[in-house]
Amino acid sequence: MSGPSWRRYLRFWGSDLAADVDDELRFHIESRVQEYVDMGLAPDSARAEAMRRFGNVAAVRRSCQEIDQLTDQERRRADMWDALRQDVRYAARALRRSPGFTLVAVLTLALGIGANTAIMSVVNGVLLRPLPYPSPDRIVRVYTAFRGSGTPRYSMSQPEFMDYKSLTHVFENAAAYTGATLTLTGGCASTNGACEPERVRGIAATRDLFPALGVSPLRGRNFEGDEGRTGREPVVIVSHAFWQNHFGGSPDLLGKVLTLNGVSRRVIGILPPDVTLARADAFIPIYINPDSLGGRATNYLSGVARLKPNVTVEQAQRELDALTRATAAKYPNVYPASMGYGATVISMRDAIVGDVRPALLILLGAVGLVLLIACANVANLLLARGEARQREIAVRLALGANRRRVLRQLLTESTVLALAGGAAGTLLAWWGMKALLAVNPDAIPRLELVHIDLTVALATLGVALITGLLFGLAPALRMARPELQSSLKEGTRGGSVGRAQQKLGRLLVAGEVALAVVVVIGAALLVRSFWALRNVDPGFDPKHVLAVDLALPPARYDMNAATTFYRQLIERMAALPGVTVAAAASDLPPVASGSNWDIEILGRRRAAGEAAPSPNVRSVTAGYFRALRIQAIRGRVFNDEDVGSSQLVAVINETAERTIWRGTSPIGQQIRFAPDEPWLTIVGVARDVRSMGLSEDVTPEVYLLHEQLPAITKETERTMYVIARTAGDAASLAPAARRAVRDLDPLLAITGIRTMTEMIDLSVARPRFTMLLLGVFGAVALVLAAVGIYGIMSHAVKRRTREIGIRMALGARPADVLRLVVGQGMSLAGAGLAVGVLAALAATRLMTRLLFGISATDPLTFAGIVLLLGAVAFVASWLPARRAVLTDPTLALRSE
């Protein structure tokens, strides 16, 4: 036979399909040639005849090879599946044989994977899922910025909005809107169209709002022309949810007339279901008349715009920078240089979730560490188990199983474990997320969109598989490479292999202690930060105070009626049993939104380029300071005589005194808000109150007397909180307060009714949310680390039972043995702690933005956690040591 004979050796590694076909065909032709030669033909013509009878050799060879290739592929695939099925069956059997090990491993993995699934779901739903609008990346929020006072995102005034909108080469559409509190009183689905008065979340928007979002109404139409202008027919567009909840999705809502804030508005559109802009239910048009714009300093509009295709947020920002620089130069009186006037543009998504991103990323990092700890634990379990199985594997190798096959078998086992852990973890995550949503849905925007979807499920599967490799590979490599001889000869204990495995085990435990240090320190910092936040002195006493949120519809309440209504309501509330004082305020700590008014101080001239002081202004009734127990530091707060007095009065806070009056006494000084408004006399300085939130710095504030507002601004405030301090439980006052409001105006809806303690709790909902989660993860990390140390130490002690027995028999005291074992455990933990502290020093730096009132490297926290973990490590190694000491030495000696 011709052809290179070496090729046949290739078959040792696998069949060579092409060569086989060649050999087969060659055999046929040679046989035929031989036959013809035997019949007497000349070799040449014999070969020619054989070839003729055979036909097209090349074509036959090609088609044979093609068929063989397919056969071969199929066979390989079948073999592989067969082997896999076999491996999985074997793994399942092996795991079933040791249910204790399996249970602990699956639970550990479920904790690690479940935490990851839950947080990945949140990150996916909140941060990654696009907004439900077409080309959502082009939707941006636009703000006026006053960088001089550290306010990069402020509302816009009408002229400012028109300026920004004029950048038509940047914005395809630009819209302005403002929140509107609406009360629905007529047009409901009831027989006579009457409504139980109800507050509806509303938005008043220019007609570009929906085009900018890229949304068209599901039914009906968008705002058109100059709708919203005085004199045009009032119209309203409602949300899908409103349509469903109030009208059961009935198609004849279009064209119906709803009474909102006393105005009859025709429904012209219904939005598609996924538009949940600020969770508003009713959208009414506002018309900005370019010929009579409002004041430049009257900022109340929010901006939404759609960028032109191929315009980036950065480009838009540069264009706005140039525009606002020019504007500031044009109106130096409105925008003094020190104000740092500008504009800010950021993507809509960042505007919605930008604040929670750091918290979520920290949590994602924490669960990643927890998963690593879980992996280290399971790897250790596998190692310990591997020692027991050393003989089994050595036998399998001796009986001819190849190393790769054994390795694959072991990895299959860990993968089966990981997948089981993944399945259990998904259940855990599903359950955990229900708990998460129950903790507080308002703490994180878009949290209601979070669920375990395909993306998350796939990610979990990926995590589980990687996990299986992570914890399975090292032990498997270790176990598939036993020195065959020694393993068979030796007992199951001791030996070089055992020592190497122990070393790996110690490394894993030290590593997981280090990881646990990072997670637990992070959690402890957040807990302490939250503690600090809750212990901030808010500057007022929130206990025993009930707050009722009201908005009087301007259509039914003129200035005098509004003033009278609040005076009467306060009187009625004050008369309720248990109530010591009642009052009203346009804004309440700690959730004040704040509106800043420029003030002019009588007798003080501003230097060129100096901005007018712009304190936060709110109006309150005389009882406000008593109701919240805010003390006067100097002078006095408002009293009842001020109400009827012709002298207009104001009270400022400490920060205003310090920053605006800078050492001079403000008492008796006069201020005004506009040249055409009267002067007010400052009568006192009140204590600082954390109006904007417990973690926010106090800003300068000016209190006006609500009853004097008409005399000052020729307007009044219709949206007020009415508060009442009671001797007893504030929450139980709520029904009586509702009745008091209904008695005065049956058509008025109550927006909210809460105790002030609740309001404070709500204001810290997000830090609490982050703290709770990280706290849970910290606890999990701590438990896993403790289990890890306990596991490795009790295993080590078990291996050394005989040695300990000998030591004891030779007269070692129990204390010596305890010291020996515990010392070993502690040196392990000590190494982990040292590395962990260094890692934590680097990692907690990332948390700085989440912390309040505590440094990211707070020495007390670090020391405390090191002590805590040290104590846990001590107990975890002391328990097995004590067991060893208590063992009868004679038993211990025979234990081999």
Partner 1 sequence: MTPPVDLLQGTLDVLVLKTLSWGPMHGYAVARWLQQVTDDVLQIEEGSLYPALHRLERRGWVESEWGVSENNRRAKYYRITVEGRRQLRAESSTWTTFSQAVSKVLTTTTASV
Contacts with partner 1 by CB under 8 A lie at: 1, 20-21, 23-25, 27-28, 30-32, 34, 53-57, 59-60, 63-64, 67-68, 70-71, 74
Report the residue number, 31 or 216, with the smaller CB distance to partner 1: 31
Q: Which is nearer to partner 1, 54 or 531 (CB)?
A: 54
DSSP per-residue letters across 602-662:
TT-PPPTTPPPP--EEEEE-TTHHHHTTPPEEEE----HHHHH-SS-EEEEEHHHIIIIIT
Cβ 59 to partner 1 shortest distance, Å = 8
Least distance in angstroms from the C-beta of 27 to partner 1: 5
CA-based R_g, the chain, Å: 39
* Shortest distance (Å) from residue 55 CB to partner 1: 4
CB atoms within 10 A of CB 168: 10
Q: Which is nearer to partner 1, 56 or 312 (CB)?
A: 56
Q: How far is the CB of 240 from partner 1 (least distance, A)?
A: 59
Closer residue to partner 1 in complex, CB, 55/309: 55
SS (H, E, C) 814-870: HHHHHHHHHHHHHHHHHHHHHHHHHHHHHHHHHHHHHCCCCCCCCHHHHHHHHHHHH
Strand partners, 721: 549, 585
* 63 vs 855 by CB, closer to partner 1: 63
* 219/754 Cα distance (integer angstroms): 37
Minimum distance of partner 1 from residue 72's CB (angstroms): 10
| Closest-CA residue to 523 (of 773, 805, 763, 158) | 773
HSE-CB for 475 with a 13 A CA cutoff: 33
> What is the per-residue burial (b if ≥16 Cβ within 10 Å, else e) of 847-876?
beebbbebebbbeebbeebbeebeebbeeb
CB of 121 to partner 1, least distance (A): 48
The least distance separating partner 1 from the CB of residue 43, rounded to whole angstroms, comes to 17
Q: For partner 1, give the closer residue by CB, 71 or 250.
A: 71
Strands 616-620 and 632-635: unpaired
How does DSSP assign 166-195, residue by residue?
T-TTTEEEEEEEEEEEEEEEE--SSTT-EE
Q: Residue 32 or residue 153: which is nearer to partner 1 going by CB?
A: 32
Exposed/middle/buried for 425, CB within 10 Å: 0-12, 13-18, 19+?
Answer: buried
Name the residue nearer to partner 1 (CB basis): 82 or 743.
82
- Least Å distance, CB 42 to partner 1, is 20
Minimum CB separation from partner 1 for residue 24, in Å? 5
Nearer to partner 1 among residue 81 and residue 431 (C-beta): 81
| Residue nearer to partner 1 on the CB measure, 22 or 350 | 22
* Shortest spacing between CB 47 and partner 1, in angstroms: 14
Cα dist from 118 to 410, 426, 445, 770, 778, whole Å = 29, 8, 16, 13, 15
Residues 48, 110: Cα–Cα separation, whole Å: 73
Q: Write out the two tokens for 743.
A: 């008695």
The answer to whether 668 and 570 have CB atoms below 8 angstroms apart is no
> Beta strand pairing status for 632-635 and 579-585?
unpaired
Alpha-carbon torsion (797, 803, 809, 812), positive or negative: negative
Report the nearest approach of partner 1 to the CB of residue 107 (Å).
46
